């Protein structure tokens, strides 16, 4: 009896470790590859740990002093990388600001000043828009922006992402405000505060945590998006980082893999740090079934 | 809504609602209406004249072999990704729940794949599957499991499974978090009682854990299903729907049809079909949720 129990535990742990290997080995290999010289990656099998680790790929990526001019010449798309990093940063920051500011106002208005049956319909409608696959709505959006001459601009990406993400932001902030203690607002109203004044000076400061979590979600979603950026941009003038990465992965010639892994890691760093800082909110969000996996 | 003073908004607050309403109307609601309209139009980029096409695009969407293939590919892709992610997620959740040391630290590590952009995930697996330098080839070759390096993405069947294996990776964190929460909600008394009655580990798993995990499992399966039915980035970067139409899924089909071949009407019709399929699944989910009385 005892022996079979030990056997069972060993088998379970073995399976669990295989699961963990599947989950953690790929990003681990990416990290190692980004510090490995090309020759060691091209060995058969590759060196699982580099004998001579190098930061050359990162220097080439940011085109600093130690950059490898040959690698840069052979992977011209990488030149677009610093610019697209900046593009993504601008787009994600602006979208986050728009979504959180106007999302909070609308979520608050919805939770306080809309009749209950109407409120339920609006929330259901907001949820329904999130169920529509993005590729379906991109066709009309593309043609509208083409007519307005706004394709390949950062402004267009910012307003499109805002429109696509606002339903989600309102949806999560509304549930946040619904659980918000209403006594303070009533007291403020009795003291003669207008609803806007109450919202700005009492509700907003007290809902900091919810707002930061919503901001992190929006920032991560925009930063991680690929299909919207791919459809609505055509040059490094507006490429977000995801599109620049895909462009660098040229299917015709074998890319410089150390360099690409470094680029991928840098692209993943920003959302990874945000998710780590807001891991509590991320998990709560997953549990409420609101966020995309 | 207790106080009458709180019942009414003021003018300025109402005005401040307009940006959100306009943005949602313009980019979330109007496009849905317009893509439905387009699906009845004969609109091809560069062909000049266009007009009403009646149900032609829908006839194409329901009868053309390429669309049928994309539908079966999508369903196969979604079903297998969900199965894989759920099984692995359940394994890790059980591990976390077994009082192991460092579980808290592990949960943070598990959120990591969730935060990695899908395009980076695709790049990562493209590198792992690389036919000449890839890590998958390297591992299997050094263990003597394959005689020579292979091009995993160059035959339709192996490409499909390689893409599924890569995509499921991104779904695992969601499965772990939901199932782990479900596991911690099961009262330990149940297991103690079963222990006294002499039920073994396996019997306990199938008679206590699984039935009480039904609702969280349902959440995982349906949400992951909805997401994997719209998977795009991974297919775009790993295979572009190929080889042949081996990994052609609906969302990539819509993109290719409308933006690469310029057949906007047909692309719109397939897009509507994809939206309807997603809605049917969501409806099933809502019904299941109502019947079980909440997710957790």
DSSP B3-24: SGGGS---HHHHHTTHHHHHHH
Residues in chain B: 296
Higher per-residue confidence, A262 vs B244: A262
Q: Is residue A98 pLDDT above 70, yes or no?
A: yes
- Residues A94 and A162 placed together within one structural domain of the fold: yes
Peptide bond into B13 cis (omega under 30): no
Which chain A residues are closer than 8 Å to B113 by Cβ?
23, 27
From B93, B101, B202, B198, select the one nearest A4 (Cα to Cα). Answer: B202
- Residues A161 and A248 placed together within one structural domain of the fold: yes
Per the domain annotation, does B270 fall within a domain?
Answer: yes
Helices A241-248, A208-224: crossing angle, 10 deg rounding: 30
Query: Residue A147: enclosing H or E segment and its boundaries?
Result: helix A134-147
Per the domain annotation, does A19 fall within a domain?
Answer: yes
Q: What 8-state DSSP symbol labels residue B241?
A: T
| Most confident range, picked from B69-78, B131-140, B236-245 | B69-78
Per the domain annotation, does B8 fall within a domain?
Answer: no
Per the domain annotation, does A281 fall within a domain?
Answer: yes
Which chain B residues are closer than 8 Å to A220 by Cβ?
115
- Residues A49 and A179 placed together within one structural domain of the fold: no
Per the domain annotation, does A110 fall within a domain?
Answer: yes
Peptide bond into A47 cis (omega under 30): no
Which chain A residues are closer than 8 Å to B234 by Cβ?
none
- Residues A161 and A184 placed together within one structural domain of the fold: yes
Q: Bridge-partner residues for B42, per DSSP?
A: B51
Q: For residue A289, name the pLDDT band (cuts at 50, 70, 90).
A: low
Query: Residue A204: enclosing H or E segment and its boundaries?
Result: helix A204-206
Q: What is the CATH number of the domain that holds A263?
A: 1.10.3720.10
Per the domain annotation, does B82 fall within a domain?
Answer: yes
Domain C-terminal end among A75, A109, A134? A75
Q: Is residue B48 pLDDT above 90, yes or no?
A: no
- Residues A65 and A28 placed together within one structural domain of the fold: yes
Cα B295 to the chain's mean position, in Å?
18
Per the domain annotation, does B10 fall within a domain?
Answer: no
Give me the pLDDT at residue B5, please.
Answer: 45
In sequence order, the 6+-apart residues with CB closer than 8 A to the CB of B3 are: A182, A186, A189, A190
Q: What is the CATH number of the domain that holds B153?
A: 1.10.3720.10
Indicate the residue of A15, A170, A271 with minimum beta-carbon distance to B20.
A170
Per the domain annotation, does A92 fall within a domain?
Answer: yes
Per the domain annotation, does A131 fall within a domain?
Answer: yes
Q: Is residue A117 pLDDT above 80, yes or no?
A: yes
How do residues B281-290 score in pLDDT, each as one tens digit?
878 777 766 6
* Total domains, chain B: 1
Indicate the residue of A139, A163, A265 with minimum beta-carbon distance to B28.
A163
Q: What is the SS3 assignment for A149?
A: coil
Query: Residue B52: enclosing H or E segment and its boundaries?
Result: strand B51-52
Per the domain annotation, does B18 fall within a domain?
Answer: no
Half-sphere exposure of A170 (CA within 13 A, CB side): 33
For the purposes of burial, counting CB atoms within 10 Å of the CB of B104, is it exposed (0-12), middle (13-18) or buried (19 or more)? Answer: exposed
Q: For residue B294, name the pLDDT band (cuts at 50, 70, 90).
A: very low
Domain C-terminal end among A18, A49, A75? A75
Determine the residue of chain B that is closest to A244 in CA distance: B119
Give me the pLDDT at residue B8, please.
Answer: 67
Give me the pLDDT at residue A4, please.
Answer: 65
- The two structure tokens encoding residue A140: 């009309």
User: Is the Cβ of A12 closer than 8 Å to some Cβ of chain B?
Assistant: yes
Whether B27 and A159 have beta carbons less than 8 Å apart is answered as: yes
Determine the residue of chain A that is closest to B294 in CA distance: A288
Q: In the block, which residue shows the tokens 């782990």?
A: B180
Q: For residue A141, name the pLDDT band (cuts at 50, 70, 90).
A: very high
| Main-chain phi, psi angles of B51, to 5 degrees | -165, -170
Q: Quote the minimal CA–CA distance from B255 to chain A in Å.
A: 7
Give me the pLDDT at residue B209, please.
Answer: 84
Determine the residue of chain A that is closest to B91 in CA distance: A16
Per the domain annotation, does A128 fall within a domain?
Answer: yes
Computed over its alpha carbons, how large is the radius of gyration of chain A?
A: 24
How do residues A212-251 score in pLDDT, each as one tens digit?
888 988 999 999 999 999 999 988 889 999 999 988 886 6
Give me the pLDDT at residue A72, please.
Answer: 77
Domain C-terminal end among A51, A75, A99? A75
Overall average pLDDT of the B47-56 stretch: 73
Determine the residue of chain B that is closest to A283 in CA distance: B177
Give the whole-angstrom CA distance, residue B236 versus residue A214. Answer: 29
Whether A195 and B6 have beta carbons less than 8 Å apart is answered as: yes
Per the domain annotation, does B201 fall within a domain?
Answer: yes
Q: What 8-state DSSP symbol labels residue A114?
A: S
Q: Is residue A181 pLDDT above 90, yes or no?
A: no
Q: Do B274 and A136 touch (CB under 8 A)?
A: yes
Higher per-residue confidence, B241 vs A94: A94
Give me the pLDDT at residue A153, please.
Answer: 93
Half-sphere exposure of B113 (CA within 13 A, CB side): 31
Give the whole-angstrom CA distance, residue B138 versus residue B291. Answer: 49
- The two structure tokens encoding residue A113: 């000043």
Give me the pLDDT at residue B49, please.
Answer: 57
Sign of the dihedral defined by the CA atoms of residues B155, B158, B161, B163, in that order: negative
Most A CBs within 10 A among B29, B123, B226, B257, hence the mutation to make, goes to B123
Which chain A residues are closer than 8 Å to B185 by Cβ?
none
Q: For residue A95, name the pLDDT band (cuts at 50, 70, 90).
A: very high
Give me the pLDDT at residue B165, please.
Answer: 94
Which chain B residues are closer than 8 Å to A15 by Cβ?
91
- The two structure tokens encoding residue B276: 């309807």
pTM: 0.88
- Residues A159 and A244 placed together within one structural domain of the fold: yes
Q: Do B127 and A12 touch (CB under 8 A)?
A: no
B49-58, B128-137, B212-221 — which is least confidently predicted?
Answer: B49-58
- The two structure tokens encoding residue A186: 């009533």
Q: Is residue B296 pLDDT above 50, yes or no?
A: no
Q: Which domain holds residue A162?
A: 78-287
A62-76, B58-72, B228-242 — which is least confidently predicted?
Answer: A62-76
Q: For residue A64, name the pLDDT band (cuts at 50, 70, 90).
A: confident
Give me the pLDDT at residue A116, please.
Answer: 83
- Residues A65 and A207 placed together within one structural domain of the fold: no
- Residues A236 and A104 placed together within one structural domain of the fold: yes
- The two structure tokens encoding residue A138: 């991109």
Q: For residue A3, name the pLDDT band (cuts at 50, 70, 90).
A: low
Q: Tell me the count of A-B CB pairs closer than 8 A.
A: 293
Q: Quote the minimal CA–CA distance from A117 to chain B in Å.
A: 14
Give me the pLDDT at residue A89, please.
Answer: 95
Whether B13 and A196 have beta carbons less than 8 Å apart is answered as: yes
Whether B68 and A204 have beta carbons less than 8 Å apart is answered as: no
Sign of the dihedral defined by the CA atoms of residues B279, B280, B281, B287, in that order: positive
Computed over its alpha carbons, how large is the radius of gyration of chain B?
A: 24
How do residues A154-178 score in pLDDT, each as one tens digit?
999 999 999 999 998 998 888 888 8
- Residues A33 and A140 placed together within one structural domain of the fold: no
Which chain A residues are closer than 8 Å to B111 by Cβ?
275-276, 279, 282-283
Per the domain annotation, does A293 fall within a domain?
Answer: no
A127-136, B1-10, B128-137 — which is least confidently predicted?
Answer: B1-10
Q: Is residue A1 pLDDT above 70, yes or no?
A: no
Q: Do B275 and A245 touch (CB under 8 A)?
A: no
Per the domain annotation, does B37 fall within a domain?
Answer: yes
A2-6, A248-252, B193-197 — which is least confidently predicted?
Answer: A2-6
Indicate the residue of A105, A223, A267 with minimum beta-carbon distance to B16.
A105
Q: Is residue B244 pLDDT above 80, yes or no?
A: yes
Which chain B residues are closer than 8 Å to A129 by Cβ?
24, 28-29, 32
Determine the residue of chain A that is closest to B126 in CA distance: A249
- Residues A24 and A163 placed together within one structural domain of the fold: no
Give me the pLDDT at residue A292, please.
Answer: 44
Q: Which domain holds residue B103?
A: 26-292
- The two structure tokens encoding residue B36: 């439905």
* Total domains, chain A: 2
- Residues A193 and A118 placed together within one structural domain of the fold: yes
Q: What is the residue-averaged pLDDT of chain A?
A: 85
Q: Is residue A79 pLDDT above 60, yes or no?
A: yes
Q: Do A112 and B14 touch (CB under 8 A)?
A: no
- Residues A229 and A270 placed together within one structural domain of the fold: yes
Q: What 8-state DSSP symbol labels residue A47?
A: P
Q: What is the residue-averaged pLDDT of chain B?
A: 84
How do residues B81-125 score in pLDDT, each as one tens digit?
999 999 999 988 888 887 766 677 777 778 778 889 999 999 999
Overall average pLDDT of the B155-166 stretch: 93
Per the domain annotation, does B21 fall within a domain?
Answer: no
């Amino acid at each position: 009896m005892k022996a079979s129990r030990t056997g069972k535990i060993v088998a379970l742990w073995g399976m669990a470790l295989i699961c963990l290997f599947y989950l953690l080995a790929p990003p681990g290999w990416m990290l190692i590859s980004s510090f490995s010289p090309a020759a060691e990656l091209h060995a058969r099998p590759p060196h699982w740990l580099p004998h001579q680790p190098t930061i050359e790929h990162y220097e080439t990526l940011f085109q600093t002093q130690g950059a490898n001019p040959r690698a840069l010449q052979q992977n011209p798309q990488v030149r677009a990388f610093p610019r697209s990093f900046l593009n993504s940063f601008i787009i994600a920051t602006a979208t986050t600001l728009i979504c959180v500011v106007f999302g909070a106002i609308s979520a608050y208005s919805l939770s306080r000043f809309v009749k209950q049956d109407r409120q339920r319909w609006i929330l259901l409608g907001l949820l329904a828009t999130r169920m529509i696959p993005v590729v379906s709505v991109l066709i009309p959006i593309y043609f509208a922006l083409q007519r307005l001459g706004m394709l390949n601009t950062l402004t267009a990406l910012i307003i499109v992402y805002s429109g696509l993400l606002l339903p989600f932001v309102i949806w999560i902030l509304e549930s946040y405000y619904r659980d918000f203690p209403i006594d303070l607002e009533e007291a403020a109203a009795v003291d003669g505060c207008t609803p806007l004044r109450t919202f700005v000076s009492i509700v907003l400061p007290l809902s900091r945590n919810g707002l930061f979590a919503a901001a992190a979600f929006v920032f991560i979603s925009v930063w991680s998006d690929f299909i919207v950026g791919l459809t609505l941009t055509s040059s490094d003038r507006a490429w977000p980082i995801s599109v620049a990465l895909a462009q660098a992965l040229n299917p015709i010639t074998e890319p410089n893999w150390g360099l690409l892994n470094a680029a991928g890691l840098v692209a993943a760093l920003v959302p990874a740090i945000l998710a780590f800082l807001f891991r509590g909110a991320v998990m709560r969000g997953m549990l409420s079934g609101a966020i995309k996996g | 809504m207790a106080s009458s003073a709180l019942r009414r908004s003021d003018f300025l607050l109402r005005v401040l609602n307009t940006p959100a309403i306009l943005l949602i109307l313009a980019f979330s609601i109007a496009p849905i209406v317009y893509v439905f309209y387009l699906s009845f139009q004969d609109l091809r980029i560069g062909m000049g004249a266009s007009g009403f096409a009646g149900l032609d695009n829908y006839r194409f969407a329901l009868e053309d072999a390429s669309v049928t293939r994309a539908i079966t590919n999508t369903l196969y892709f979604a079903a297998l990704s969900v199965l894989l992610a759920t099984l692995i997620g359940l394994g890790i959740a059980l591990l976390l729940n077994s009082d192991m040391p460092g579980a808290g630290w592990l949960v943070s590590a598990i959120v990591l794949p969730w935060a990695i952009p899908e395009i980076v995930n695709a790049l990562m697996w493209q590198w792992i599957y690389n036919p000449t330098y890839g890590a998958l080839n390297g591992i299997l070759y050094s263990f003597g499991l394959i005689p020579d390096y292979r091009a995993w993405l160059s035959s339709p069947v192996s490409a499909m499974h390689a893409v599924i294996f890569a995509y499921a990776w991104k779904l695992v964190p969601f499965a772990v978090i939901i199932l782990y929460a479900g596991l911690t909600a099961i009262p330990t008394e149940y297991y103690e009682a079963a222990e006294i009655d002499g039920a073994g580990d396996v019997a306990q798993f199938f008679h206590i854990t699984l039935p009480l995990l039904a609702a969280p499992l349902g959440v995982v399966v349906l949400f992951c299903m909805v997401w994997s039915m719209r998977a795009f980035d991974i297919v775009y970067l790993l295979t572009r729907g190929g080889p042949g139409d081996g990994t052609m899924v609906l969302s990539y089909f819509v993109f290719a049809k409308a933006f690469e071949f310029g057949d906007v009407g047909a692309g719109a019709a397939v897009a509507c079909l994809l939206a309807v399929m997603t809605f049917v699944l969501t409806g099933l989910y809502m019904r299941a949720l109502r019947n079980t009385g909440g997710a957790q």
